[in-house]
Chain A
Amino acid sequence: MKRKPFSIAILGSLLLGCAFALSGCNKGPAITVWVGGESAKFYQQAANKFFKDHPEYKYRAVVKGVDTGTVAGTITTDASAAADIYTVAHDNIAKLVDAEAAYPIENQGLIDQVVADNPQGFKDVIYATPKGETEKKLYGVPYISQSLFLYYNKKFVSDEQAKTFEGLQQAAKAADNKAFTIVGDDGYNFSFTMLARKESDKSSTLKLYPNGERHDNWLQGDDEIAFVRWANEMFADPNGGEWPPANWITEVQNGKVCALIGGAWHFNSFAASCDDFGIAKIPTFTLTADHVQGLTGVSAGDVYRGGTFADCKVFMMNMYCAEEKREAAQELMKYLSSKEVQKESFLEVNNVPAFAGVDSWIAEAKDQMTEYQYMLGVAQTSMSAYGIAQPFVKSLYNTYFYSKNGPQKYVNLIKLSKAECTLDAIREALFRIEYTWGWGEDVPEGKLPATLPASTAERIEA
């Protein structure tokens, strides 16, 4: 008696489950595309439109929202489990090419479009040399640009205060909270100190793989030392920078920080966590006598602006994309990365376009955007002018992901107490980081030179 409804329920749920499971296996061959979760719907529509307009390609598009970290992780473990076209930040390109997970772009139309549309900074970082070959090939098709900028809570910070770190600090003092926070303690998020530039002429002594040259780095300039001192002091201050918290959203929500240095991908969360906010360039800071003590290349009163890596997200084609699909896949990539679709994606889902001259387009199309969108676009494109695209030399040499503990060392330096943060300690640590960039490992034990080199050339000889 009792059993009947029970077994019917089980049978019913089983059938339901089967129906759902099978509904996934739709008919017809598909080209799968992975994009960021927030823009999956947009690109699904765009891809559908493409295949409707091009009936000669008998495929349908399946677009899924997958974040870049997951993409890179999945592909290095098991590229066959990944989509035909996937999207990653450009600095993953070398790693994926080395892991035999990416297929070079061969479609001449697409290559021409990439070359014509993109700024030189991006064109420098989307080529890679496949294993066993000598010639560079195009792997990445840029479609979104990314950089850091500042979100600030207008409840605490005025627009004027948001222009300088000193202003932020002042606002934090008044509200008895922290001036700003960052999202993570890796090399990318700390690029705002390392990549800072002089406000007057946008100059910096930093050299990071110039022209793809592996050993030609320079991190020991006097300004870099002053930046470390500044950041060290900033993060020690009770109303200064807050070390990346476990959950920055609730920190913003509860009014514990005034501002966040983040990217466009934090837009929705930030908007949901405070009532009225502004978006601006990363603020400037002024060096004090303490910061420049014992240094010659900088002087007190110099104004610097926090810098950023200016990256692009790229479409890439999977090595496991079946041979017969490749033509259609590349045509699809060509369409999805075209200027028109990039512009639309900004208006619909806040993806800041990658093409050259995007700043002038944002100024032109202001009336099509919301107020916040416009602020976002302006802040990011003007930060891009201060930024450099994260450079890499093969998969091994990269500031961010794969150099062994380079970013970690920089973070540890900023974490030091004031007493530990001596000129010699900073110099040595910066030398070690620089060595890691060039050689992929820390300075071997006992190999630390007695006097640190004063220039790149000197160090290479050493």
Chain B
Amino acid sequence: MAEAVAKKEKKPNPVGRFFKNIGLAIKNFFVNLGVGIKDRFVDFGKRFVDGSIGTKMSHFVLGAGNFYHHQWIKGFLYLALEVLFILFMVLCPEVNGTPYGWRSLGPEGIGLKGHDGTATKPGSDPVLMLLFGLVTIIAIIAFILLWLSSIKSSYKADLDVREGRKPTTFKQDLAALFDNKFHVLMLTPTCIAAVAFTILPTIFMISLAFTSYNQVDMNALGTKQFTWVGFENFGAVFTGVGSLGTEIKARFFPVLGWTFIWAVLATFTCYFGGILLALLINKKGIKLKKVWRTIFILTIAIPQFISLLTMRNLLDVNGPLNKILMDMHIINKEINFLGLGSDYKGGEFIPKLMIIIINMWIGIPYTMLMTSGILMNIPADLYEAATVDGASKTKMFFKITLPYVIFVTTPYLISSFIGNINSFNTIFLLTGGGPTITDGLTTYKAGGTDLLVTWLYKLTISEQMYNAGAVIGIFTFLITATITLITYRNSKAYKEEDTFQ
């Protein structure tokens, strides 16, 4: 019955609209892609048929068309790059092994044998196989782009000649780089650097999620090899079936839950705390505003690893804070605030609470700094009008100040929410993810206060369970990406990106 009613009411709800939009976006993407690819092929065919002999030659020898049009330097550059590419493919041993090696990530590596049968060199490394496989794929894509650009450049020269213009000289090409092709000049360094050090590593880690690269298991089996396992690792998170075992399933959801609770609490405590503090400092009649502000801003200015490690020592069981509280007879036994050490038995609540409080110590000044300016910018006539109407101070705060500030800082709120999901320093430096959960499961080392991101760190850096780490990383990405998509696509900043100026 209920279902039938729900079906009848076809009111578009925001969630439904969101998924519909995603569906449409995906459809459009593929339609556009299809059209794009078709157009490219049509263009490609046209150039080959229509082009001069030089352009036709360019399909085989890069730069031939440029030589044909006497663009010597350009032609030479294309040719040199082609030769470089061929040399790379032929001479680099890691690349040679790629087509075979990438499929199975290398045969069992027993080191090269010396004269007495002892291994003298370590065996083949599947990590390098995988990495160079990706490098090779990227190199091939880059070469295809270069190849197309060579053909296009030659065809353009053809058209120039046909229409009675002179083909561009190298000097003109260079000059264009500073004018209407300025973006090419400006973006090339970033593109190269980003492909090499951001995109390639990210793809590499994503592919690790589909392998059995887990140093703990590999040590146990006494092997250096790993291979592709498909979606098994992702399945293990939900079903517990697979080489990652049931423990990852048992740990993932508590960590995910705490990550959300933490992000919500940390964001809102700091946000409203910061607004209140800014109001307090900016209150009329308060003198030395600058001094007060500076005192609070100190915590932002000091590097986090210093302020957080200081806090950790200050709150130590044998630290000064416990002593002060004991001397004042507020407590009669030291409190292990952060749940450190394996003698800790107090549960997760106190460490979690302390982390949120300490995070306020760090985060409130940040919001204060941000909102101070905004508070000063609230149009004074709003308040004047309200005063004439006889509104009370509290009412003004809730009706004018707060809505205005929230309206202006919503994007900041969202970005700080995402920032808190990925808040590594606070957790890592204060509790190290602890206290240990004592339920007999120990392999995945996720502690009571671990967030997805600190867990990810533990898995990849300390435990070397790379595939598990990659899976967690991908889940973290999916979460932050979903939040960003929902909020960002609905934000004015995105919709009116061009009209804003």
Q: Are B110 and A131 interface neighbours, CB within 8 A?
A: yes
Q: Are B121 and A247 interface neighbours, CB within 8 A?
A: no
| Residue B390 CB within 8 A of the other chain | no
| Residue B409 CB within 8 A of the other chain | no
Distance in angstroms between the alpha carbons of A99 and B117 in the assembled complex: 17
Q: Are B316 and A132 interface neighbours, CB within 8 A?
A: no
| Residue A246 CB within 8 A of the other chain | yes
Q: Are B222 and A254 interface neighbours, CB within 8 A?
A: no
- State which of A114-122, A375-383, A394-402 sits at the interface with chain B: A394-402
Within 8 A of A (CB), among B435-490: 438, 440, 442-443, 464
Which residues of B are found within 8 Å of A242, using beta-carbon distances?
343
| Residue A130 CB within 8 A of the other chain | yes
Q: Are A133 and B122 interface neighbours, CB within 8 A?
A: no
Known: A76-B219, A95-B219. A412 touches B438 (CB 8 A): yes
Which residues of A are found within 8 Å of B336, using beta-carbon distances?
246
Known: A246-B317, A440-B220. A319 touches B122 (CB 8 A): yes
| Residue B119 CB within 8 A of the other chain | yes
Known: A130-B119, A137-B118, A404-B443. A395 touches B343 (CB 8 A): no
Residue of A nearest to B341 (CB): A246
Within 8 A of A (CB), among B119-161: 119-123
Distance in angstroms between the alpha carbons of A100 and B341 in the assembled complex: 35
| Residue A263 CB within 8 A of the other chain | no
Q: Are B318 and A250 interface neighbours, CB within 8 A?
A: yes
Within 8 A of A (CB), among B46-61: none
A-B pairs under 8 A by CB, number: 89
Give the shortest distance, in Å, between B89 (CB) and chain A (any CB). 25
| Residue B342 CB within 8 A of the other chain | yes
Give the shortest distance, in Å, between A136 (CB) and chain B (any CB). 12
Interface of A is mostly: loop
Distance in angstroms between the alpha carbons of A199 and B443 in the assembled complex: 38
| Residue from A246, A408, A415 with most neighbouring chain B CB atoms (10 Å) | A246
Against A, the Cβ 8 Å flags (1 = close, 0 = not) of B270-300 are 0000000000000000000000000000000
Q: Are B342 and A244 interface neighbours, CB within 8 A?
A: yes
Within 8 A of B (CB), among A136-159: 137
Against A, the Cβ 8 Å flags (1 = close, 0 = not) of B328-354 are 000000001000111110000000000
Q: Are B219 and A404 interface neighbours, CB within 8 A?
A: no
Which residues of B are found within 8 Å of A101, using beta-carbon distances?
122
Known: A396-B222, A404-B443. A243 touches B342 (CB 8 A): yes
Which residues of B are found within 8 Å of A210, using beta-carbon distances?
none
Against B, the Cβ 8 Å flags (1 = close, 0 = not) of A35-47 are 0000000000000
A to B CB contacts below 8 Å, 9 in the list: A100-B111, A100-B122, A101-B122, A132-B119, A244-B341, A245-B317, A246-B317, A247-B317, A412-B440
Task: Enumerate the 9 nearest inter-chain pairs by beta-carbon distance, A residue then B residue, closest first.
Answer: A246-B341, A243-B343, A246-B340, A250-B318, A100-B122, A185-B342, A245-B341, A132-B110, A98-B222
- Identify 9 new A-B residue pairs, CB closer than 8 A, beyond the known A319-B111, A405-B443: A100-B109, A131-B222, A137-B118, A243-B342, A247-B316, A247-B318, A319-B122, A396-B220, A412-B438
